[in-house]
């Protein structure tokens, strides 16, 4: 029992409030499911475009607005028609056409000798590839061509330009989620710092800072975005800067309100009596304690930002073709609702699932951070 | 039925399913209440005493399950449907709560609120209920009842609101009144009045009272029988006199012996003066401004002078709103004020924040609320060593951990707990952490702002002893702010009595307690010690 004895014993690990909140979150089934869904969707958005067979901007002229199907295109019964069209273009006649698995055989005839370069016409289609001349009649009036039939899968169909919808949803989801998260981070950083300083310092400073917030509130959002576009040109970064610059206002107000009630708490007075300067007080005692409401607000903010981005894209101020976002895809789908309902349905499913998961997670987080609220 | 108990509780069990596991709040409680009798349930916080009564009237929270039997005049109340239950509770069994500030609806006049149980249960119109409401208001001793009918809760003091709550509870002539710590939130003088009122009403109306409290002082005066609860169980019950004079269970003995005892000798006259305050004043302005007209000026502290010597404890006594906490904060310069305040010769009032910072280590504070005074997201080690970061920035992490361990050991906590978070500790332990935080900088003066008021009696005693030991070991000077005269008597050698921001009486503790000169001091003392005195007479 020496004086040093207490320091030698290893300290017992404590369980912080954040720890406990996370435990409660995991035990809540709805939020656990949301987390799993969000992780799965995010993985799809992040890695999907890299492994997908089709690029989001690859145009299949032959497959404009094909309905979704798990069977590969082209269908066997349409191939002959395609080959007939090819023959027509090449000014030859299709005499015989057979498909055997992945390979096709076609025989063309013509009144004049056939140039073997006729295969180029065949290759130009989306359906056939690697065609080569396997035999030609001695007079050159008939030619046999063999090649590969390209099988394309479009599980969610294609859009009006013949682009694979699934690939586009994945890239659009990636853009939407990125904008959602980045813009939320922008508003988080600005809003928390601004609100905490305003609330903590109080007095005239608070007055001035909050009046600035109100002035910014009164600026129409679209106007602000147009001004930014005029000055900086159209830019991906601009989207989340613009959205973040608007959304931090709410965050600042929430954090300011929290700060006002926190700064009357005794632990803040105790820290002040300890001699901490204002910034350390805000950093060590105010900001960490606003985390509950802030996290909840973030989970509401992400879907809101995604919606705002789709609104901007809809107006033509957001992401530009061929890049897309979930909002842009839905807007496009809405205008083709009757002719090609899948253009609306599939992006909406992804959009709604993402938003639902985020909202359930938000609910779960609120319960986890403030269990008394139940 | 007439002679049997009016309320019979058998084998009552209450469990709560919480996200962090099941909590068994009440375990197999048996209790009987006879007509016209006062039964006190005594226990410390968390003993399940309130939950047991909430279960009786069917107000257990949604995540709770109740089992056992509660019979009111032979009618089984557990499992009774909502309609039938409502015919009993609010009519035959009514309840008053601890917090008079939040138990009344701020949007309705008190006349309306008292009439509500009448309108609801007896189907009276508001006009028919009026005479009864007036009668009730007079019954609970509210002066000028006619005019008070139209008042709103915010226009009344805490004691008056508690009277209104009692009037509401009495509206339908209940057989049983359940009072859940009805006086805890009130000042001592008001507390005594409310207790008198309840005792008087019981005599006149012949109802039974179930009185829930943590304070044996109140119970002695008031109850016929006592049940002592601990961890959800009744450990001992019996007639008041028997329990008070010959407690059998060690827990009851401990509770009864928990009053802080002893006193503190004054320091020698040669001891250096640390704090010398002259004519301190704090005024707050409410409202006012460019368009709002003149502000309302409140003199929270007016012309207070005091002189604190080394190793001295000055007790500052007063009711809520007397300015004692404001004075404490001014002495640490946490707020601005006027006058002169010399600490070792330097005037603190004139100093700016930056100049004060190096002096902060000499002047520390411990607050009342052990839940609110520790930052919930920092570990105990971080909380305790916060001052070291400011005043000894040269220390590295290992040094700080060592100092934290020493400070925690000094206040009687296991240093190995320093990586835990405040919510993992009990109220008394948290108060020890707050004290460790104050002493780690080896200050000369500590302002103790009601450090024991939020704690259970038994814990209170331990904290008082800890504070005394630290004072002896380190020659500390304390400013002990409290409304609890028993604790002040045990801690302080000099007392200031404050009322409305002024010092109305001051002097050595022994003198003040032996011969209070000012009327207000006398009122305070009779109120505080009448509670215990009653018990010794019976």
Please indicate if any CB of chain A lies within 8 Å of the CB of B17: no
Which range in A41-45, B106-110, B135-139, B531-535 is most confidently predicted, on average pLDDT? Answer: A41-45
Q: Do B334 and A273 touch (CB under 8 A)?
A: yes
* pLDDT (mean) for B329-338: 87
What pLDDT, in 10s, does the model give residues B174-188? 889 998 888 777 777
C-beta pairs of B322-327 under 8 Å, 24+ apart in sequence: B322/B498, B322/B499, B322/B500, B322/B501, B323/B282, B323/B498, B323/B500, B323/B501, B323/B502, B324/B481, B324/B498, B325/B449, B325/B450, B325/B481, B326/B282, B326/B300, B326/B301, B326/B501, B327/B280, B327/B282, B327/B301, B327/B481, B327/B498
Nearest-by-Cβ selection for A274 from B19, B387, B401: B387
Kind and range of the H or E run holding B315: strand B313-317
pLDDT of residue B486: 82
Q: Does B373 contact A at CB distance below 8 Å?
A: yes
Structure confidence at residue B447 as a pLDDT band (50, 70, 90): very high
Instruction: Extract the residue ranges of chain A whose pLDDT is less than 50.
Output: 1-8, 373-374
Question: Residue ranges of the alpha helices (H) in A135-164?
Answer: none
Nearest to B334 among A18, A272, A276 (CB): A272
Backbone angles phi, psi at A265, to 5 degrees: -70, 155
Residue B533: pLDDT band (50, 70, 90) is very low
* Strand B7-18 to B93-96 pairing: unpaired
Look at B377 and A289 and tell me if their CB atoms are within 8 Å: yes
ipTM for this prediction: 0.75
Which residues in chain A are contacts of B358 at CB distance < 8 A? 275
Q: Collect all residues of chain B within an 8 Å Cβ-Cβ radius of residue A202.
A: none
Distance from CA of B421 to the nearest CA of A (A): 6
Q: Which of A98, A185, A182 is nearest to A145 (CA)?
A: A98
Number of neighbours of residue A64 by Cβ within 10 angstroms: 14
pLDDT value of residue A5: 40
What is the predicted pLDDT for the residue at A61?
76
Q: Are B212 and B178 in contact (CB under 8 A)?
A: yes
- Provide the token pair at A361: 């997670």
Residues B441-466, mean pLDDT to the nearest whole number? 86
Cβ distance A288 to B378 less than 8 Å, yes or no, reads: yes
Residue A144: the pLDDT is 82
pLDDT for the residue numbered B202? 87
Distance CA A316, CA A254 (A): 32
Q: What average pLDDT does range B353-382 have in this prediction?
A: 85
Is A204 an 8 Å CB contact of chain B?
Answer: no
**Portion 96-115 of B in contact with A at CB < 8 A:** none
Hey, which residues 421-440 in chain B have their CB within 8 Å of chain A?
421, 423-424, 434, 437
User: What value, to the nearest 5°, has the Cα angle with vertex B263 and ends B257 and B269?
Assistant: 170
Provide the angle, in degrees to the nearest 10, between the axes of the packed helices A236-262 and A221-232.
Answer: 130
Q: In angstroms, rounded to a whole number, what is the distance separating the alpha carbons of residues B364 and A274?
A: 7
A10 reaches B (C-beta below 8 A) = yes
Place of tokens 């520790």: B374
Query: Would the CB atoms of B405 and A7 count as touching at under 8 Å?
Result: yes
Q: Is A9 an 8 Å CB contact of chain B?
A: yes
Q: Is A27 on the interface with B (CB under 8 A)?
A: yes
pTM: 0.76
pLDDT of residue B446: 92
Pinpoint the alpha helices (H) of A219-341. Answer: 221-232, 236-262, 266-273, 278-281, 291-315, 326-335
d(CA B168, CA B438): 46
Please give the structure tokens belonging to residue A334.
């809405």
Q: Does B378 touch chain A (CB under 8 A)?
A: yes
List of chain A residues whose C-beta atoms are within 8 Å of the C-beta of residue B332: 273
Percent of chain B with pLDDT over 90: 6
Spatial neighbors of A230 by CB under 8 A, at least 6 apart, are none
Q: Give the whole-angstrom CA distance, residue A143 versus residue A128.
A: 17
Chain segment A24-42, per-residue pLDDT in tens: 788 888 888 989 999 999 9
* Neighbouring residues of A78: CB distance < 8 A, sequence distance ≥ 6: none
Chain B environment of A277 (Cβ under 8 Å): 357
Distance CA B494, CA A57 (A): 86
CB pair distance less than 8 Å for B367 and A6: no
Residues of B in contact with A276 (CB under 8 A): 386, 390
pLDDT digit string (tens) for B1-53? 446 788 889 999 888 887 667 888 888 889 889 888 899 998 887 788 888 88
pLDDT of residue A211: 93
> In this structure, are residues A313 and A229 in contact, taking their beta carbons and an 8 Å threshold?
no
In chain A, which residues have their Cβ closer than 8 Å to the Cβ of B421?
14-17
List all residues of chain A from 258 to 317 with a beta carbon under 8 Å from chain B: 265-267, 269-277, 280, 284-285, 288-289, 291
d(CA B19, CA A54): 47
Average pLDDT, chain B: 84
Q: Tell me whether residues A266 and B377 touch, CB distance under 8 A.
A: no
Write the pLDDT tens digit of every residue in B390-445: 888 888 888 888 888 889 988 888 888 888 888 888 888 888 899 999 889 889 99
Mutation to test the B interface, candidates A3, A6, A21, A280, most B Cβ within 10 Å: A6
Flag whether residue B368 sits within 8 Å of chain A, measured between CB atoms: yes
């Amino acid at each position: 029992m020496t004086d040093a004895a207490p320091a030698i014993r290893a300290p017992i690990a404590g369980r912080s409030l954040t720890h406990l909140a996370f435990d409660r979150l995991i035990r809540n089934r709805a939020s656990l499911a949301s987390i799993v869904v969000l992780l799965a969707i995010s993985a799809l958005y992040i890695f999907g475009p890299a492994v997908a067979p089709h690029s989001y901007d690859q145009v299949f002229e032959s497959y404009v607005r094909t309905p979704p199907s798990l069977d590969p295109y082209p269908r066997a019964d349409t191939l002959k028609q395609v080959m007939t069209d090819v023959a027509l273009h090449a000014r030859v006649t299709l005499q015989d056409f057979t498909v055997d698995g992945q390979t096709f055989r076609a025989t063309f005839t013509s009144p004049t000798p056939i140039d073997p370069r006729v295969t180029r016409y065949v290759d130009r289609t989306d359906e056939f590839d690697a065609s080569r001349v396997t035999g030609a009649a001695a007079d050159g009036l008939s030619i046999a061509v063999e090649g590969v039939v390209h099988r394309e899968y479009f599980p969610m169909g294609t859009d009006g330009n013949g682009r694979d919808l699934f690939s586009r949803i994945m890239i659009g989801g990636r853009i939407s989620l990125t904008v959602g998260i980045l813009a939320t981070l922008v508003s988080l950083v600005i809003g928390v710092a601004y609100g905490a300083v305003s609330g903590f310092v109080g007095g005239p400073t608070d007055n001035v800072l909050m009046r600035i917030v109100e002035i910014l509130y009164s600026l129409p959002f679209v106007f602000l975005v147009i001004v930014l576009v005029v000055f900086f040109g159209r830019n991906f970064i601009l989207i989340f800067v613009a959205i973040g610059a608007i959304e931090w206002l709410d965050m600042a107000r929430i954090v300011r309100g929290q700060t006002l009630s926190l700064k009357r708490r005794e632990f803040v007075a105790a820290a002040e009596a300890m001699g901490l300067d204002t910034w350390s007080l805000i950093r060590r005692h105010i900001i960490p304690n606003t985390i509950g409401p802030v996290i909840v607000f973030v989970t509401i903010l992400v879907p809101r930002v995604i919606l705002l981005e789709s609104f901007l894209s809809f107006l033509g101020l957001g992401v530009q073709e061929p890049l897309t976002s979930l909002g842009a895809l839905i807007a496009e789908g809405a205008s083709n609702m009757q002719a090609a309902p899948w253009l609306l349905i599939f992006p909406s499913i992804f959009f709604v699932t993402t938003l639902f998961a985020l909202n359930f997670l938000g609910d779960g987080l609120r319960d986890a951070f403030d269990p008394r609220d139940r | 039925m007439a002679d049997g108990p009016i309320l019979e509780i058998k084998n009552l069990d209450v469990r709560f399913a919480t996200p962090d596991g099941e909590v068994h709040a009440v375990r197999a409680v048996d209790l009987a209440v006879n007509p016209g009798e006062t039964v006190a349930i005594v226990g410390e916080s968390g003993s399940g005493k309130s939950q047991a009564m909430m279960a009786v009237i069917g107000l257990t929270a949604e995540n709770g399950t109740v089992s056992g039997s509660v019979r009111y005049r032979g009618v089984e109340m557990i499992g009774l449907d909502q309609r039938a239950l409502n015919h009993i509770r609010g009519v035959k069994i009514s309840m008053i709560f601890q917090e008079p500030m939040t138990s009344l609806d701020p949007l309705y006049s008190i006349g309306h609120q008292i009439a509500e149980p009448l309108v609801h249960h007896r189907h009276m119109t508001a006009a028919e209920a009026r005479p009864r409401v007036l009668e009730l208001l007079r019954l609970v001793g509210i002066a000028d009842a006619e005019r008070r009918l139209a008042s709103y809760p915010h226009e009344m003091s805490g004691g008056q609101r508690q009277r209104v709550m009692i009037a509401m509870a009495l509206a339908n002539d209940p057989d049983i009144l359940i009072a859940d710590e009805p006086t805890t939130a009130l000042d001592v003088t008001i507390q005594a009045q409310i207790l008198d009122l309840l005792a008087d009403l019981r005599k006149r109306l012949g109802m039974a009272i179930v009185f829930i409290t943590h304070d044996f002082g109140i119970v002695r005066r008031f109850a016929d029988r006592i049940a002592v609860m601990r961890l959800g169980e009744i450990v001992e019950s019996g007639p008041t006199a028997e329990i008070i004079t010959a407690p059998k269970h060690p827990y009851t003995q401990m509770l009864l012996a928990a009053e802080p005892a002893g006193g503190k000798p004054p320091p020698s006259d040669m001891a250096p003066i640390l704090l010398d305050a002259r004519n301190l004043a704090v005024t707050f302005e409410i409202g006012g401004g460019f368009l709002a007209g003149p502000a309302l000026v409140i003199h929270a502290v007016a012309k207070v002078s005091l002189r604190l010597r080394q190793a001295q404890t000055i007790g500052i006594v007063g009711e809520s709103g007397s300015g004692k906490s404001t004075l404490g904060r001014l002495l640490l310069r946490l707020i601005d004020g006027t006058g002169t305040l010399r600490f070792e010769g330097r005037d603190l009032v004139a100093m700016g924040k930056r100049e004060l910072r190096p002096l902060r280590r000499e002047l520390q504070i411990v607050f009342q609320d052990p839940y609110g005074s520790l930052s919930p997201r920092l570990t105990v080690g971080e909380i305790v060593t916060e001052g070291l970061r400011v005043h000894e920035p040269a220390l590295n992490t290992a040094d700080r951990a060592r100092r934290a361990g020493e400070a925690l050991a000094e206040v009687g906590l296991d240093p190995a707990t320093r990586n835990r978070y405040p919510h993992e500790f009990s109220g008394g332990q948290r108060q020890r952490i707050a004290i460790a935080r104050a002493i780690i900088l080896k200050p000369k003066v500590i302002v103790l702002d009601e450090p024991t008021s939020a704690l259970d009696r038994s814990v209170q005693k331990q904290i008082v002893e800890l504070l005394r030991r630290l004072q002896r070991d380190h020659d500390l000077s304390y400013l002990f702010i409290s409304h609890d005269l028993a604790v002040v008597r045990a801690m302080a050698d000099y007392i200031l009595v404050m009322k409305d921001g002024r010092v109305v009486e001051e002097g050595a503790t022994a003198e003040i307690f032996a011969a209070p000169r000012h009327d207000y001091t006398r009122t305070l003392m009779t109120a505080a010690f009448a509670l215990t005195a009653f018990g010794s007479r019976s």
